[in-house]
Chains A and B, each alone.
Chain A
Amino acid sequence: MLTICPYFHVHQPYRVKKFSVFDIGQDTEYFNDGSGTDMDNRFIVEKVANKSYRPTNKILKELLDNHPEFRFNLSFSGTVLDQFETYAPDVLESFQELVATGRVEILADTYHHSLAFFYSIPEFKRQVQKHERRIKQLFGVKPKVFRNTELSYRNDLAKWCEDNGYIGIMAEGWEKYLGWRSPNYLYHPPGCKKIKVLLKNYKLSDDVAFRFSNQAWADWPLDAGKYSNWINSHHGNGQTVNLFMDYESFGEHQWEDTGIFDFLRHFPDMVMRHPDTSFKTATETIEAYEAAGEYDVPDILTWADTERDLTAWIGNDIQRDAIAATYRMEKDVMSTGKRDLIEIWRKLQTSDHYYFMCTKWSNDGDVHAYFSPYKSPYDAYINFMNALSDLKLRVDYIVQEKAKAEEAAAEKDTVKNEESKQPPPQKSQEKDPAKPPDPQSKPDEDVTSAPEPEELIDEPEPLFKNIWNRLKKIFPLVSPERKST
């Protein structure tokens, strides 16, 4: 008996539009590019829907209808579900139809396709919960098997998943940790009792996801028959072949003219010609087989690049700086209690933003391996940081106003207690704390009533100067140490 456990990952980020320093404090929309280019989120979703989601779902539905044994798994980011709902509701419906067959399992994930687990576990947990609610709302199911952004994995993540009731987790089947062992069995993480790890068979997965259209590849062209033979050759030395790939491999990464749709259409039929080959969902796989051994991953493992690490996301200084700046805001953002600001902050956590700042290609000159809508990694960084700075301004404003309101309330109480004749301090009447920051009203003008007048400048300050001063407080300038590098 050999079973195949495919999972297709569906994701689109909210790309940040062109946002210059001059937009800080002036514009509160970061994701609404309408240029019809690769920064325009609606345009991309519509484009990929036509090339990939619509035709692929049609084929998948036919396969489910014609092959009662055909099964697979889907994982969605919340950001792609939100964009389907807004830009392509029919695509969302077609996914709902697939799931309604009962033979398509949905995996647990972070809502915002983030790397939060490695930066803030409380935030990670909130995103996983939000994702679970959304999946329940849209598909009426509760995921039991977890997969993390970019298939990133570590022992403590598995432990977290076990502690939070998941029965399985996905990871890359990488020789560094497998040694001589096969990825085609289940494993258990060290220190865990129940949870099992499903390992990606990266050779067979990447044959489809990456190599399918590569004419320089010795096995090109790949057809369903040849591929089925490769899979069926694992009879006797494996239980499950886990094929994990981006959903967009079908039609977007591998275009229709490569024959990818024909491949998909014929694959289940061809592979099941072997009487002992079948399909299982992740949960069925975990319930069917015992763990064959321990899979011990002390360092972050992902499905990316030859290094299988996170260097494409946090490998250089600007990436690490940007992600650190994002998570530094957590306490303040959460304390605002403003749903819209928290949501924007989370959209900025999507891993794609940091990926766009990758400079790894400059070492091997392979620019195309790292597609980005931005002209350069530096442009991506500047754009992102400008948007983040704007968000930071809005958050800080609310935090300050809240603090002032609390202070004023406390003062009022003490004044009342002492003598009720004194009028309340004027300061508290000047601003409504609930109002969003209005760039026209200068938030710094309260300085005039502050005890230390040295920050005052005789001339009335131009609008930008205020913003700039606040910005400087947010990201204090580092002393120029670069000369030594």
Chain B
Amino acid sequence: MKVLTFSWEYPPAKNGGLGVACFGLTRELLASGVAVTLVLPKTQETRGDARFLFADTERLVKTGENADILYGPYNQAATTIESIIGYDSTGKPIYCSRSILEEAHRFAHQAAIIARMEDFDVIHAHDWTSYLAGVAAKIASGKKLVLHVHATSFDQAAGDNVDPSIFKIEKEAFDLADQVVTVSNYTRNILIHKHGVKEDKVTVVHNGCDAEEVKELPPTLVELKRQGKKIVLYHGRISIQKGVDYFVRAARRVVDVNPNVVFVISGWGDMMTQVIDQVGAMGLSEHVRFAGALWEDDRDRMYQCADLFVMPSVSEPFGLVPLEALQHGTPSIISKQSGVAEVLTHALKVDFWDIDEMANQILAALQYPVIGQQIVKEGKLQLLQMSWNKAAQRMKELFQNLVQYATS
């Protein structure tokens, strides 16, 4: 079984859940004997044993620490990104500015060329930025196409006010795909009800999680901890989809009752200034810390130091962060509007809009520490059952069924 996979992001580049999921799935597919050729839009460092192809030789312009976040697939289609497309005779770089939409089309153009050259049985494309590439590869090769949905335009818009150009790509690609895989029933329902995809075409394969023992890192926020403050953490993009504004409103309710709590917001995104303004307007400056975008060990230290993690997403197809927090021994409150709520029973669950209940749960979790103890103790056992291997086996079965059908 040979799979040609298209993805927009991949570790170790700093990005969101899509890269993590791609990595976990690819690793386990390889381990179970599936040959994965992974096509990425730009040359980058990679991790793991898959065979990598890059859809060009351009390099991403590093404009600052968070440059590659702007390259994420979770932005509006019209967001522009700058690339160095070559060098002139004097060795000066030649810049080119394209929108993500244009990049996705360019990726598709390259995909068609790659698909004609490569040998494979089935095509697997992750998220809307790769859908066009997947469709192009299917047209070029005549092979079956599986689209893997990690997010939809409805999640990004946190409502029905979707980016029409992304929705158009989603709709057309779902129609052309042979199978569509979503990471949760929550997302499956969006596809069925909003995109009008036929029920039997959409399969749910829940994301997995690596239940490896994490290393104990040096503590952070030592001074706050010394003062006996309780730390409540948000970690993720700061965008309308993630519900950070609800988190801040709940913080106000919490601090009214228990002023001994500090809320840490880790991440970056297009809603940053709005959230900072909100914190100021609600008089929460003393109680909210902005940690910037944290990665790797910095992020893990924050997970380990926090007393409680909150994922207040307005619309979350899956949501790997509470599982990461759990690995680091931190219990979570998770939005009911998330896919992870379907598989993680050891967490407190709340409707993202229910500020009072969110505050109630935060206060209770801090007041009755046995809740956190039990969530972590039993939750870690549950993590063991959510392996990427399990997800990869389901994908493999799905590929096999498709290929069988194609050859018979």
Interface residues of A (CB under 8 A from B): 20-22, 316-318, 321, 359, 362-363, 375-376, 378-379, 381-382, 385-386, 462, 464-465, 467-468, 471-472, 475, 477-478, 480-483, 485
Q: Is the CB of B368 within 8 A of A485?
A: no
Which residues of chain A come closer than 8 Å to B371, judged between CB atoms?
318, 378, 381-382
Task: Give which listed residue, B363, B368, B372, B374, contacts A359 with CB less than 8 A.
Answer: B374
* Residue from the set B364, B375, B378, B380 with the largest chain A CB neighbour count within 10 Å: B364
Closest 9 CB pairs between A and B? A20-B360, A382-B364, A321-B370, A317-B374, A464-B257, A21-B363, A482-B373, A483-B329, A478-B369
Number of contacts between A and B (CB, 8 Å)? 92
Q: Is the CB of B382 within 8 A of A317?
A: no
* Interface: B256 (CB within 8 A): yes
Which residues of chain B come closer than 8 Å to A379, judged between CB atoms?
348
A-B contact pairs, 28 of them (CB 8 A): A20-B360, A21-B359, A21-B360, A21-B367, A22-B360, A317-B370, A317-B374, A317-B377, A318-B371, A321-B368, A362-B345, A378-B375, A381-B368, A382-B371, A385-B364, A386-B360, A462-B256, A464-B256, A465-B259, A468-B257, A477-B366, A477-B367, A477-B369, A478-B370, A480-B307, A480-B372, A483-B304, A485-B373
What per-residue 1/0 map shows which CB atoms of B334-376 lie under 8 Å from chain A? 0000000000011111000000110111011011111111111
Which residues of chain B come closer than 8 Å to A475, judged between CB atoms?
367-368
Interface of B is mostly: helix
Give 20 new A-B contacts, CB below 8 A, not counting A362-B346, A485-B376.
A318-B368, A376-B345, A376-B348, A376-B349, A378-B347, A379-B348, A381-B371, A382-B360, A382-B364, A382-B368, A385-B368, A465-B259, A468-B257, A468-B258, A478-B369, A478-B370, A480-B307, A480-B369, A482-B373, A482-B377
Interface residues of B in 286-334 (CB under 8 A from A): 304, 307, 329
Q: How many residues of B contact A (CB 8 A)?
A: 37
Which residues of chain A come closer than 8 Å to B307, judged between CB atoms?
480
Which residues of chain B come closer than 8 Å to A472, judged between CB atoms?
367
Interface of A is mostly: helix
Which residues of chain B come closer than 8 Å to A468, judged between CB atoms?
257-258
Task: Give which listed residue, B253, B329, B357, B360, contacts A485 with CB less than 8 A.
Answer: B329
Q: Is the CB of B304 within 8 A of A22?
A: no
Which residues of chain A come closer than 8 Å to B364, judged between CB atoms?
21, 382, 385-386
Q: In the docked arrangement, what's the CA distance between A330 and B176, Å?
A: 68
Interface residues of B (CB under 8 A from A): 216, 253, 256-259, 304, 307, 329, 345-349, 356-357, 359-361, 363-364, 366-378, 380-382
Q: In the docked arrangement, what's the CA distance between A235 and B331, Å?
A: 58
Q: In the docked arrangement, what's the CA distance between A255 and B133, Å?
A: 56
Which residues of chain B come closer than 8 Å to A20, judged between CB atoms?
356-357, 360
Chain A: minimal CB distance from B156 (Å): 28
Which residues of chain B come closer than 8 Å to A386, judged between CB atoms?
360, 364
Q: In the docked arrangement, what's the CA distance between A378 and B334, Å?
A: 13
With contact pairs A22-B257, A359-B378, A376-B349 given, residues A382 and B370 touching in the complex (Cβ less than 8 Å): no
Which residues of chain B come closer than 8 Å to A478, judged between CB atoms?
369-370
Q: In the docked arrangement, what's the CA distance between A399 and B371, Å?
A: 29
Which residues of chain B come closer than 8 Å to A317, judged between CB atoms?
370, 373-374, 377
Chain A: minimal CB distance from B25 (Å): 24
Which residues of chain A come closer than 8 Å to B258, judged between CB atoms?
468
* Residue from the set B253, B345, B367, B377 with the largest chain A CB neighbour count within 10 Å: B367
Q: Is the CB of A362 within 8 A of B382?
A: yes
Q: Is the CB of B329 within 8 A of A482?
A: yes
Q: In the docked arrangement, what's the CA distance between A138 and B216, Å?
A: 63
